Structure 1
Amino acid sequence: MSVRKQLRTALCGLALTGLAVTAVPATAVATPVATGAAKVSPVAAAEDAAARALARSFADSAWRAEAGSAVAGGAETGLGALAETSRTRAAASLATVVAAADRAVVAAKGLPADTGGLLTVTLAGARGSGRAPLVAVEPSDDEITAVTAYDTRGRAHTLDASRMPDVPVYVVGVDGEKAVEAGTRVLERELAAAGVTTAAANATAATAPAASTAPTAPTTSTASTTSTASSTGFWTSRITSVRLADDKETWIKGDAEIFSIVSGFGLDGKVRVDTVTHPYLDDAGTTYHPNQILVNWSLYKYNLADAVMMEDDGDTDYSALAKAIAAALLTIADLGAYIPLVDPVVDALPSSFWTDDADFVDAWYTLAREMTGTRDGAGANGRFTFDRYWVSAL
Structure 2
Amino acid sequence: MKKTIFTITALILIMLHISCESEKTTFEPANDTEVPKLSGIDKKKMAFDLIDLLNSPSFSTTIVQELSNNNTPGIKLATLLQQQNSFSHHTAYKSLIKSIETSKKQSKNYTADSFEIPELWMHRPANKKSINTEDILISFAPEGDESEWKTITAYTLDKKAVELDPENAPDLPVIVIETKGYEVLKAEVDYMNTQLQLSGLQNDRFATQKMDLRPTAKINAGLETTKLDKIRLNNDEEPWISGAAEIYAITSGIKNAGNDPEIKIIPMYYLDHEGKDYYPNQVLLFWEDYKYQAANIQLFEKDDNHNYKNLVSVIVDGVFKIIGAVSAQPWVSVLGQVAGAIIQAMPDEWYTNSDDYVDSFYTIEKNKHYTDHIGAAGNAKATFSPLFIPEN
- Pair in the same fold by TM > 0.5: yes
Verify: 1:266 aligned to 2:255, yes or no: yes
User: Which residue of the partner structure matches residue 230 of structure 1?
Assistant: 219
Residue in structure 2 matching 1:254, options 243, 252, 258: 243
User: Which residue of the partner structure matches residue 31 of structure 1?
Assistant: 28
CA distance in 1: counterparts of 2:154 and 2:377, whole angstroms: 34
CA distance in 2: counterparts of 1:29 and 1:69, whole angstroms: 29
Asked if structure 2 preserves the Cα contact closer than 8 Å seen for 1:364 and 1:378, the reply is yes
CA distance in 1: counterparts of 2:279 and 2:176, whole angstroms: 30
Verify: 1:183 aligned to 2:188, yes or no: yes
CA distance in 1: counterparts of 2:92 and 2:35, whole angstroms: 30
* Alpha-carbon distance change, 97 to 387 in structure 1, aligned in 2, over 3 angstroms: closer
Residue in structure 2 matching 1:196, options 196, 201, 205: 201
CA distance in 2: counterparts of 1:357 and 1:194, whole angstroms: 28
CA distance in 1: counterparts of 2:315 and 2:26, whole angstroms: 44
User: Which residue of the partner structure matches residue 7 of structure 1?
Assistant: none
CA distance in 2: counterparts of 1:39 and 1:372, whole angstroms: 53
Residue in structure 2 matching 1:347, options 321, 344, 348: 344
Q: How does 1:105-254 map onto structure 2 within 5 Å?
A: 106=107, 111=110, 118-124=117-123, 127-128=131-132, 130-131=134-135, 133-138=136-141, 144=149, 146-150=151-155, 156-165=161-170, 167-174=172-179, 176-201=181-206, 230-246=219-235, 250-254=239-243
Aligned residue for 2:265, secondary structure, equals strand
Q: RMSD of aligned C-alpha atoms?
A: 4.1
Deviation (angstroms), 1:117 = 6.8
Residues 180-189 or 241-250, more deviating: 241-250
CA distance in 2: counterparts of 1:71 and 1:117, whole angstroms: 23
User: Which residue of the partner structure matches residue 76 of structure 2?
Assistant: 78
CA distance in 1: counterparts of 2:318 and 2:35, whole angstroms: 31
Q: How does 1:351-390 map onto structure 2 within 5 Å?
A: 351=348, 353=350, 357=354, 359-374=356-371, 375-390=373-388
* Alpha-carbon distance change, 229 to 148 in structure 1, aligned in 2, over 3 angstroms: farther
Deviation (angstroms), 1:175 = 6.2
Asked if structure 2 preserves the Cα contact closer than 8 Å seen for 1:120 and 1:174, the reply is yes
Aligned residue for 2:28, secondary structure, equals coil
User: Which residue of the partner structure matches residue 321 of structure 1?
Assistant: 311
Asked if structure 1 preserves the Cα contact closer than 8 Å seen for 2:223 and 2:389, the reply is yes
* Alpha-carbon distance change, 27 to 310 in structure 1, aligned in 2, over 3 angstroms: closer
Higher relative contact order, chain-length normalized (CA < 8 Å, sep 6+): 1
Verify: 1:393 aligned to 2:391, yes or no: yes
* Alpha-carbon distance change, 319 to 96 in structure 1, aligned in 2, over 3 angstroms: same
CA distance in 2: counterparts of 1:329 and 1:384, whole angstroms: 26
Deviation (angstroms), 1:70 = 1.7
Unaligned runs of 5+ in 1: 3-22, 210-227
* Alpha-carbon distance change, 311 to 370 in structure 1, aligned in 2, over 3 angstroms: same
Taking structure 2 as the reference length, what is the TM-score of the superposition?
0.72
Asked if structure 1 preserves the Cα contact closer than 8 Å seen for 2:54 and 2:157, the reply is no
CA distance in 1: counterparts of 2:142 and 2:261, whole angstroms: 35
User: Which residue of the partner structure matches residue 221 of structure 1?
Assistant: none
User: Which residue of the partner structure matches residue 7 of structure 2?
Assistant: none
> Over residues 269-316 of structure 1, what are the superposed CA-to-partner deviations in whole Å (9 max), with x where a residue is unaligned?
322112222222222112222232221122112222222211224455
Deviation (angstroms), 1:381 = 0.6
Verify: 1:46 aligned to 2:40, yes or no: yes
> Over residues 348-383 of structure 1, what are the superposed CA-to-partner deviations in whole Å (9 max), with x where a residue is unaligned?
124564575253211122222243223321111112
> Over residues 11-68 of structure 1, what are the superposed CA-to-partner deviations in whole Å (9 max), with x where a residue is unaligned?
xxxxxxxxxxxx9964633235999x9999x7xx635x12333225524665575145
* Alpha-carbon distance change, 295 to 321 in structure 1, aligned in 2, over 3 angstroms: same
Q: How does 1:5-20 map onto structure 2 within 5 Å?
A: none
CA distance in 2: counterparts of 1:248 and 1:308, whole angstroms: 15
Residues 231-240 or 317-326, more deviating: 231-240
Counterpart residue identity of residue 384, structure 2: F
Residues 346-355 or 320-329, more deviating: 346-355
Unaligned runs of 5+ in 2: 3-16, 126-130
Taking structure 1 as the reference length, what is the TM-score of the superposition?
0.72
Counterpart residue identity of residue 119, structure 2: T
CA distance in 2: counterparts of 1:158 and 1:251, whole angstroms: 14
Verify: 1:307 aligned to 2:287, yes or no: no
Deviation (angstroms), 1:206 = 6.4
CA distance in 2: counterparts of 1:307 and 1:38, whole angstroms: 42
CA distance in 2: counterparts of 1:370 and 1:38, whole angstroms: 57
Asked if structure 2 preserves the Cα contact closer than 8 Å seen for 1:263 and 1:273, the reply is yes
User: Which residue of the partner structure matches residue 265 of structure 2?
Assistant: 275
> Over residues 230-283 of structure 1, what are the superposed CA-to-partner deviations in whole Å (9 max), with x where a residue is unaligned?
343343222222111145864433222222111122136322112222222222
